[in-house]
Homo-oligomer: A and B are copies of this chain.
Amino acid sequence: MTVLSGPWTLYLIWVLSQQGATRFGVLRQEISGISTKMLTERLRMLEREGIIQRHYQATIPPQVSYDLTDKGAELIAILGDLYSLAERWYGESSEAAHCLN
């Protein structure tokens, strides 16, 4: 729970679960409002926790993408349950896209 509680963490996982492997720059755009500092911080943390994987391509310019590990995928089921509950509680209008803090 400590892991998941950080800002943007759950939304970041959610985005990756929807799109699969995604590049750094795309994530920064997709998660509108996040700073590069925060994004890298969350990505490193989730990588340490074994929830996401980093893929590095030493091309020019370099390409880096991130996706969920198997461990990360296990979370999706639970997060899905939570989102379902949220929909029942707050109505269909509630979007999954929330910054957590």
Given contacts A71-B89, A89-B71, contact A1 B78 (CB under 8 A): no
Contact A78 B86 (CB under 8 A): no
List the interface of chain A (C-beta within 8 A of B). 1-2, 5-6, 10, 71, 74-75, 78, 81-82, 85-86, 89, 98-101
Identical chains in the assembly: 2
B89–A85 touching, CB < 8 Å: no
Q: Which 8 A-B pairs have the closest CB atoms?
A: A5-B100, A1-B100, A78-B81, A2-B98, A5-B5, A1-B10, A78-B82, A1-B98
CB-based contact A85/B81 at 8 Å = no
C-alpha spacing A86/B4, complex, angstroms: 11
| Residue picked from A2, A5, A75, A98, most chain B C-beta under 10 Å | A5
